[in-house]
Structure 1
């Protein structure tokens, strides 16, 4: 089984998620509708035990076969999650790993998501040996779509997913980042 390495950026440490992160997940994401509304998997209102149930599906499992989930920390404080789901999440890009992320509202607007997502993309290309990585964001989530565009993702398709928090199907833009584009962007920086 693959052991997730700790990832460090200029300001952040991304460490493998742990069962002890359940309370922080609930407080920062599950209890804040402005975070939960952009997630397909968060029920609203957040149900007791949801964080623990999620964590039990990833902690101690092989991250390359399920999902590699990182706690994004700033000065040791949990501020969000960055994750890479094994290939198979997206029907039309089934051979691509898929990234996802969220940041607690108090920590948004400071570039932490960009920093964390760039680190996890770099790790994912090495870990999965894939030629490309995919992501998806609600069509009306302009901040997330802007972050992905800034990192070099290009629109690929539109799909629909059921959003538990919104209790309806939501249009999602599927985007794709090639390894070549990612490497070229890193070299230019």
Structure 2
């Protein structure tokens, strides 16, 4: 689509594809949300959207993406890809930034359907979006964060070279919980030659990355 080139944006690795979702992709992702994302006894998210009933989780998943699309500006954007393995949507990987042209800093977040967890997909999809951030957009830093008891997310960050960046105490289901911030600098990032970005060039102005891209 000429006026919304993000629909052509993809990042591919030997194991998976990140792509800007179609309506069919969102429907598949909503189905995964309805099935469940985590053990109900824990809460890995700052906003407890997964506490809703299955049907509401599905609808809110679609609405969340529509809100992101409608609010997108080069100064403040959030891009949530669907993660596709062997032709099947298995989860979502988000990357976002505020004033990226100035800060050259991005945040990431993700979730995977429960039946696809434990296969190393989380590490691979984070590696893919970091390639987009550093090799594609010219980012200087990537940020992440996880509650202290979210060992899976913290483990992914550790594997990819993130370092501690402080802690916060946040309210989670009405109780105090420690959130650990993490940071990966471009100089500490390990590039891979088996990850490819497709359709990025026409999207660069939407990311506020046209200026930073010139310095790559």
Distance across 1 between alignment mates of 2:28 and 2:85: 13
Q: In the alignment, what sits opposite 2:82?
A: 71
Q: In the alignment, what sits opposite 1:91?
A: none
Shift of the 63–146 alpha-carbon distance from structure 1 to 2, 3 Å rule, reads farther
Q: In the alignment, what sits opposite 1:116?
A: 125
Q: Supply the RMSD in Å over aligned alpha carbons.
A: 2.7
1:52 aligns with one of 52, 62, 65: 62
Q: In the alignment, what sits opposite 1:18?
A: 22
Q: Is the 8 A contact 2:95 2:109 kept in 1?
A: yes
The TM-score, its normalising length taken from structure 2, stands at 0.71
Distance across 2 between alignment mates of 1:158 and 1:168: 16
Q: Is the 8 A contact 2:37 2:112 kept in 1?
A: no
Instruction: Give CA deviations for 1:24-50 in whole Å, capped at 9, x if unaligned.
Output: 333323542616721223241243631
Instruction: Give CA deviations for 1:51-89 in whole Å, capped at 9, x if unaligned.
Output: 12201112366475311111000112110011111137x
Q: In the alignment, what sits opposite 2:44?
A: 38
Shift of the 171–105 alpha-carbon distance from structure 1 to 2, 3 Å rule, reads same
Instruction: Give CA deviations for 1:134-181 in whole Å, capped at 9, x if unaligned.
Output: 000111101110110100000111124444xx3545321100000000
Aligned residues: 179
Shift of the 8–95 alpha-carbon distance from structure 1 to 2, 3 Å rule, reads closer
Question: Which runs of 5 or more structure 1 residues have no equivalent in the other structure?
Answer: 89-93
Query: Once superposed, which parts of structure 1, at least 4 consecutive aligned residues long, lie more than 6 Å away?
Result: none
Q: In the alignment, what sits opposite 1:97?
A: 106
Structure number with bigger Rg: 2
Question: Which runs of 5 or more structure 2 residues have no equivalent in the other structure?
Answer: 194-216
Q: In the alignment, what sits opposite 2:143?
A: 134
Distance across 2 between alignment mates of 1:106 and 1:179: 33
Q: Is the 8 A contact 2:29 2:82 kept in 1?
A: no
Shift of the 20–171 alpha-carbon distance from structure 1 to 2, 3 Å rule, reads farther
1:82 aligns with one of 81, 93, 101: 93
Shift of the 171–63 alpha-carbon distance from structure 1 to 2, 3 Å rule, reads farther
